[in-house]
Amino acid sequence: MVEVAWIIPALPLATFLLIVAVARSAPRLAHALAIAGVGAACLASVAVLAEVVGGAHVERIMAWFRIGQTVFTVGWVVDPLSAAMLVIVTTVSLAVHVYSVGYMHGDAGYARYFAFLNLFTVAMLGIVLAPTLLQLFVFWELVGLCSYLLIGHWYRKPEAAAAAKKAFLVTRLGDLGFLVGILMLWTATGTFVLAEIEAKVAQHALAPGFLTLAMLLLFCGAIGKSAQFPLHVWLPDAMEGPTPVSALIHAATMVAAGVYMVARLFPLFEGAPTALLVVAYVGIFTAFFAATMGLVAHDVKRVLAYSTISQLGYMMAGLGVGSLAAGMFHLFTHAYFKALLFLAAGSIIHGAATQDLREMGGLRRVMPITAITFAVGGLALAGVPPFSGFFSKDEILASALHAGQPVLFAVGLATAVMTAFYVSRARLLAFWGAPRWSASAAGSPGGSRDHAGHGGSADGHDAHAAGAPHDAHGHGAPHESPPVMTAVLVALGIPAALGGLLLGPASGNWFAHFLAPLEKPLPFDLGLAASGTAAALLGLGLAWLMYGARVISPEALAARLRPLYVACFRKWWVDELYGFIAARTLLGLARALAWFDLEVVDGVVNAVGAATRALGRGVRRLQSGQLPAYGLAIYAGVVVIAALVMLGPR
Amino acid sequence: MPLLSAIIFLPALAALVLALLPARDPRTFRNAAAAATGMTFLLSLWLFAQFDVNNPSLQFVERVPWVPAIGFAYLVGVDGLSLPFVVLTALLSFCAVLGSWRVTLRPKEYFVLLLILETGITGVFGAQDLALFFLFWEVELAPMFLLIGIWGGPRREYAAIKFVLYTLAGSAAMLVGILVLYFAGEPRTFAWSELVGRQIAFEVQLVVFVLIFFAFVVKLPGFPFHTWLPDAHVEAPTAVSVLLAGVLLKMGGYGIRRLLLPLVPEAMRFFAPALALLAVVNVLYGALLCLAQSDMKKLVAYSSISHMGYVLLGIAALTTVGLGGAVLQMVSHGFITGLLFLLVGVLYDHAHTRDVGRFGGLVHRTPALAVVTSLAALAALGLPGMSGFVAEYTVFVGSFATFPWHTAVSTVGVLLAAGYMLWMTERIFFGPLNPEWHDLDDAHRYELVPLWGLIGVILLVGLYPPVVTDVIDLGVGALTRWLGG
């Protein structure tokens, strides 16, 4: 299987093409094909993983095209890192595909949606298997394209179209650094093949400063894709896409790409410790910063979006302090619990027709499976033992401490408190307390709903808009989602609950040994585990006091800490800053240049034209028609030429 | 059979036949023109298929002495550098005729001129004799002037005259430059292959470079000699815009690569840093101006200026990969910008405006057009899988070693391209439908044929670059010989 590992992206690619070719107006065929493609890729990935566990390791490089002596190389690499990632990506993607059958039922762009979901998976798998920087970049950009297409799925909504564009542009800003980093490494080594570059770095063939700069530039790409500060602004807006797409983006495809890239280039980063330290601090700052915004958001999807940014920061911090295993382990557990949380949020939106926490409450009675699975995901995110997130977060904190970075450790621990708080807050507001909806009027037209909202905002061309069963959802009482969705939630609940324990301590840290056999495992530290647990429980308790028992009034607290609250709520004005830069500075420059082009550059051209005409009028007078004057001119000309010939060189 | 001459002169011959046709029905002319350009395109494909990618020398050479006394001959042939442009010209000419389906004003004259234009452009790329090159270079001018001046928009006369004066000024300088080359050595000849490798004094090289480069930089166009381009595009009919941006601009880059690099290599080396700087200015200046446009045609025109900057950058680097990337970028930009101008033309034919700000939500009425435009925009912003990515990436790889700072700065153009292209598609097609367009028609089938055809080519080159790179590779292989290292 490892010898033909290229088949893993090829399978969903084939079904993507098939859907485009034959199933554009056949929804059932479209989702059947899409699920078959990803399902087959998933099985193949598991087979590949089994072989890699058995010791297989394959790297195949081939020419894509060549110019002169320069070969532009692509291929595939199957090693523990890519094999593990293949399984993570395909399983989460499969879950999202199956879930979407229920969630997207009756959508006007159903077949298109599934086709792009397939393509998204293909692009991510292309990154995972990439053995060369060129291929990494190619699929990296295609991931960007797919996120654009899926975030903008409901392109009739201006917000969706704007969010799609924002995601593409912000991540592409980071990609400029990525591109220049690739060019630097290519210039220094003459190859795109990672293994060959790693060999050169291992021989210290590159100047340390040069390598550090190159790695920092490459990291810019990861900052964009993994929504790290300061390029995190696209991710919260990306929830304009259908919720299952958010799940895919936040768990396995888009944002994981950045972390995976750092992991894939880890041997290079190890040659540039300064760059790695930057990775760590950018990561932990992002983790803390994003968590503050998650504390106050009203939209359940936004809370989860900020949590993703924050958790990605943890992963970067783990990698940055030198532990590939810790960073990737958190990527693994996070993939499942975040997919679960997003899909559970989608289930709320599907059933209750709102994503505003203020319009929910008491939903656990009407949607029990969603409530329980959300709780499982929430506990995993909060890092409560024995749920999966506890073990992976613990490993990152331990690595930070072990690497002699107490500041990182402390900030990480503080972030853990906030994490537990905001996810519990969301859970309590959604599922507990008195209902803040009435059975007949759920989903008021003014509410911010993405799921039912697209049905409402779509115009008469939507086949399902009028009288289709789907549209009825928006008007009925909140209810549990169909089995095709809840089954997926339950299935994801298992790894979210147990994944950390099973692949962590219970198996003697199998995951870490498999991925990074050379990394020295950290001994289990009871004090560390206790402090992590305490942080989680502190957050949970605080949330319970404020939103469960209502002992502390959140409103009063917000009023007392008003500046802080506003700063968090307004996302620390980063969006406004970018808006200023883009709208004022860049567009201002563009307008100034447009004026310059029209008035100065073209003005000179027109002035030259006018001057020539004026000169022509003047010269015309010389053509007087008087032969003596002509004769004189000819004579003078001959004299001048003769003089030049005689006096000239030679 | 003299295949190359057939490709060059078949359109002119067809133009002659058209001129003599007594018919009055516009359809007769456009069908005949479509047949002629289609036939030419097939012949060019045949040429492409027959071309030996293992033979780096000139192929399909035809030589007929013309004025032996001064060593002037009808000498044509193709190598790895010429061939892609011959095929590109044939393809875009065919697309241009298909994009002229709605022309009703004096159709006979219109199609006759379009066909003469094709002969002129193809001749430029096929000529291997400098005097012949110059001749074809001038042949292209007259039909272009008339096509803009008669079938153009409201300011057509201003635009046409501006175009002609600019080009003529360049041509005059180029003629002097060619004559200097001619007189610079023995035996006197215009034959390109004999001029290559001649030892010419450095000062003379500099003079020749400046003279000839002026003609090419106007054509390319390079800052600050570019202002004729937006005017010409805005006024020109669709088909003329397609050919203008698709192939005429390439005559500039092609000329630098064909004439200046091999014939005055030391001057080329001397001016390379200046060229690189000009390249960066072109890339950023063009891209920033795109952000300030609301006329679609102006936007695409300025984006051409930006994208031609990459061509200059690739050439200035004086590396094999850079040159290959520059040629690839010219070919790729020909497809992409041809596609974009065709699209603007279709939209204008349907809506009678090109003002981006007046549209909104058109996808509700024109889904097919929305899909094609989105694909074109993605190609223009350099998405992998499309030809533009391969070309720009190759240029960057080729130029980074020589000009790291220039290259790094010019990558910003890729981000700006994404900005203006996505803004344009979003503003026109997405969001709620502007009620003004509630009865707008989608593109007709005959309009979609050339659009999808070009997208097919863009994808083919983007996914399997060797189709073109194997040919281009031959054209850049001899670089080290000219540069002596």
Q: Domain spans of chain B?
A: 269-485
What is the reported pLDDT for A179? 95
pLDDT at position B82, please?
Answer: 93
- Mean pLDDT (chain B) is 91
Q: What is the pTM of this model?
A: 0.90
User: Is A312 exposed, middle or buried, given 0-12, 13-18 or 19+ CB atoms closer than 10 A?
Assistant: buried
Q: What percentage of chain B exceeds 90 in pLDDT?
A: 67
Least confident of A92-101, A304-313, A627-636: A627-636
Residues of B in contact with A240 (CB under 8 A): none
Could B422 and A137 be called an inter-chain contact, meaning their C-beta atoms sit closer than 8 Å? no
Chain mean position to CA B453 = 18
Interstrand relation of B59-67 and A70-78 (parallel, antiparallel or unpaired): unpaired
Chain-chain contact of A158 with B431 (C-beta, under 8 angstroms) = yes
pLDDT in tens, A585-628: 888 888 888 888 888 888 888 888 888 888 888 877 777 677 77
Q: Which residue on chain A is closest to B378 by alpha carbon? A: A145
The per-residue pLDDT for A462 is: 31
* Cβ distance of B289 and A139 shorter than 8 Å: no
Query: Model confidence over A86-138: pLDDT tens digits?
Result: 999 999 999 999 999 988 888 888 999 999 999 999 999 999 999 999 999 99
Residue A557's CB: how many other CB atoms inside 10 A? 12
Return the higher-pLDDT residue of A650 and A617. A617
CA A68/CA A338 separation, integer angstroms: 47
Exposed, middle or buried, B393 (CB in 10 Å: 0-12/13-18/19+)?
buried
As a whole number of angstroms, the distance between CA B72 and CA B190 comes to: 6
A17-21, A627-631, B89-93, B405-409: segment of lowest average pLDDT: A627-631
Mutation choice for B interface testing from A24, A65, A127, A133 by most B CBs within 10 A: A65
Contact A179 B414 (CB under 8 A): yes
Q: Count CB atoms within 10 A of the CB of residue A509.
A: 19
Q: Which residue is closest to A145 within chain B, CA to CA?
A: B383
Q: What is the pLDDT, as a whole number, of residue B43?
A: 96
Torsion of CA B299, B304, B306, B310, to 10 degrees: 160
Q: In which residue are the tokens 């003279």 written? A: B211
Q: How would residue A358 be classed by pLDDT, with cut points 50, 70 and 90?
A: confident
Q: Print burial letters for B22-50: b (CB count within 10 Å at least 16), e (below 16).
A: eeeebebbbebbbebbebbbebbeebbee
Residue A521: per-residue pLDDT: 75
A145 vs A129: CA distance, rounded Å = 19
| Average pLDDT estimate for B11-30 | 88
Can you give the pLDDT at residue A438?
Answer: 73
B-chain CB neighbours of A156 within 8 Å are 361, 363-364, 430-432
Q: Which helix (H) or strand (E) holds B406?
A: helix B404-410
User: How do residues B233-279 score in pLDDT, each as one tens digit?
Assistant: 999 999 999 999 999 999 999 999 999 998 999 999 999 999 999 99
Give the pair of three-digit tokens for residue A103.
Answer: 């969630």
Residues B314, B326: contact at Cβ < 8 Å? Answer: yes
Band of pLDDT at residue B184, cut at 50, 70 and 90: confident
Are A161 and B431 in contact (CB < 8 Å)? yes
Torsion sign across C-alpha atoms B334, B313, B48, B124: positive
User: Does the structure show a pLDDT above 90 at B10?
Assistant: yes
Rounded Cα–Cα distance for residues B309 and A578 (Å): 28
CB contact under 8 A, A594 and B293: yes
Q: How far is CA A206 from CA A189, A203, B356, in A?
A: 8, 8, 49
Distances (CA, A) of B229 to A599, A639, B171, B338, B424: 15, 44, 17, 15, 20
- At residue A235, what are phi and psi to the nearest 5 degrees? -70, -45
Higher pLDDT: B238 or A634? It is: B238
Q: What is the dihedral sign for C-alpha B434, B435, B438, B441?
A: negative
Place of tokens 């078949």: B10
**pLDDT grade, residue A217 (50/70/90)?**
very high
Chain B residues with beta carbon closer than 8 angstroms to that of A64: 465
Token readout for A283 is 């990561």
Pick A412 or B103 by higher pLDDT: A412
How far, CA to CA in Å, does A619 sit from each of A614, A627, A638, B125? 9, 17, 20, 39
Peptide bond into A230 cis (omega under 30): yes
Note the pLDDT of residue B478: 62
Phi, psi at A63, each rounded to 5° = -80, 135
Lowest pLDDT segment from A176-185, A262-271, B178-187, B393-402:
B178-187
Q: Which residue of B has its CA nearest to A181?
A: B408
pLDDT of B477 > 70? The answer is: no
Per-residue pLDDT, A329: 93
Residue tagged 């059958």 (tokens)? A101
Q: How many whole angstroms from its chain centre is CA B192?
A: 22
What DSSP element (H or E) covers A60? strand A58-67
| Highest mean pLDDT: which range of A437-441, B243-247, B472-476 | B243-247
Q: Is the peptide bond before B187 cis (omega within 30 degrees of 0)?
A: yes
Cβ–Cβ < 8 Å for A139, A123: yes
Q: Per-residue pLDDT for B418 more than 80?
A: yes
Whether the predicted pLDDT of B485 surpasses 50: no
Cβ A513 vs Cβ A133: under 8 Å: no
Residue with tokens 């089994």: A50
Compute the distance between CA of residue A429 and CA of residue B345 in angstroms, rounded to an integer. 54
Tokens matching residue A494? 């298992």
**Mean pLDDT within B410-430:** 92
Q: Which of B288, B432, B465 sits opposite A589 (nearest CB)?
A: B288
B473/A145 touch (CB, cutoff 8 Å), yes or no = no
* Cross-strand bridge partners of residue A61: A75
**Positive or negative, the Cα torsion across B164, B165, B170, B175?**
positive
For residues A395 and A323, is the Cβ–Cβ distance under 8 A?
A: yes
Across the interface, do A184 and B394 touch by the CB < 8 Å criterion?
Answer: no
The C-alpha of A261 sits at a distance from chain B's nearest C-alpha, in angstroms, of: 18
Digit-coded pLDDT (tens) for B101-141: 888 888 889 999 999 999 999 999 999 999 999 999 999 88
pLDDT band at A465 (very low <50, low <70, confident <90, very high): very low
Of A284, A572, A522, nearest to A416 by C-alpha is A284
Question: Is the CB of B415 less than 8 angstroms away from the CB of A162?
Answer: no
Question: A468 - beta bridge partners?
Answer: none
DSSP string of B41-102? HHHHHHHHHH--TT--S-EEEEEEEEEGGGTEEEEEEE-TTHHHHHHHHHHHHHHHHHTTTT
Q: Tell if the CB–CB gap between B384 and A66 is shorter than 8 Å.
A: no
Average pLDDT, chain A: 86
Partner-chain contact B408 A589, CB within 8 Å: no
How close does chain A come to B210, measured CA to CA in Å? 19
DSSP character for A436?
Answer: S
Compute CA distances B90 → A392, A585, B47, B294, B483, whole Å.
Answer: 61, 43, 11, 31, 32
Angle of CA points A109, A112, A116, to nearest 5° = 135
The pLDDT score that the predictor gives to residue A558 is: 82
- The answer to whether B430 touches A217, Cβ cutoff 8 Å, is no
Provide the residue count of chain A: 650
Q: Under an 8 A CB cutoff, do A586 and B291 touch? A: yes
Q: Is the pLDDT of residue A647 over 80?
A: no
Please tell me the distance from the alpha carbon of residue A66 to that of residue B453, in angstroms, as a whole number. Answer: 26
> Looking at the predicted structure, is the pLDDT value of residue A463 above 50?
no
Residue B481's pLDDT is 62
Distance from CA of A614 to the nearest CA of B (A): 16
Phi, psi (deg, nearest 5) at residue B295 = -85, 120
Asked if residue B240 lies in contact with residue B369, where contact means CB atoms within 8 angstroms, the answer is: no
Instruction: Take residue B1 and report the two structure tokens written for it.
Output: 């059979």
Run of H or E including B284: helix B265-291
Interface confidence (ipTM) of the complex:
0.92
Residue of B nearest to A157 (CA): B431
**Cα B261 from chain centroid?**
19
Question: Is residue A64 classed as helix, strand or coil in its secondary structure?
Answer: strand
Backbone dihedral region of A550: left (phi > 0), alpha (psi from -120 to 50 degrees) or beta? left
Q: Give chain B's length.
A: 485
Note the pLDDT of residue A476. 66
Asked if B425 and B366 touch (Cβ cutoff 8 Å), the reply is: no
Closest CA to B247 of B130, B122, B390: B122
Q: Which of A179-193, B80-94, B471-485 has the lowest mean pLDDT?
A: B471-485
Pairing mode of beta strands B72-78, A70-78: unpaired
Higher pLDDT, A77 or A106: A77
Compare CB distances from A64 to B162, B433, B465 and report the shortest one's residue. Answer: B465
Q: Which of A138, A183, A605 sits opposite B400 (nearest CB)?
A: A183
Gap from B286 CA to chain A (nearest CA, Å): 10
Q: Between helices B367-380 and B320-351, what is the axis angle to 10°?
A: 160
Provide, rounded to the nearest whole percent, the portion of chain A with pLDDT above 90.
48
Q: Chain B: give the shortest CA distance to residue A554, in Å.
A: 38
Choose, out of B157, B227, B282, the residue to mutate when testing the contact with A (most A CBs < 10 Å): B227
pLDDT of residue B24: 78
Quick one: pLDDT at residue A454? Answer: 41
Tell me whether residues A179 and B472 touch, CB distance under 8 A: no
Residue A446 has pLDDT above 60, yes or no: no
When pLDDT is cut at 50, 70 and 90, the band that residue A445 belongs to is very low
**pLDDT bucket at A466, cuts 50 / 70 / 90:** very low
Q: Is the pLDDT of residue A333 over 80?
A: yes
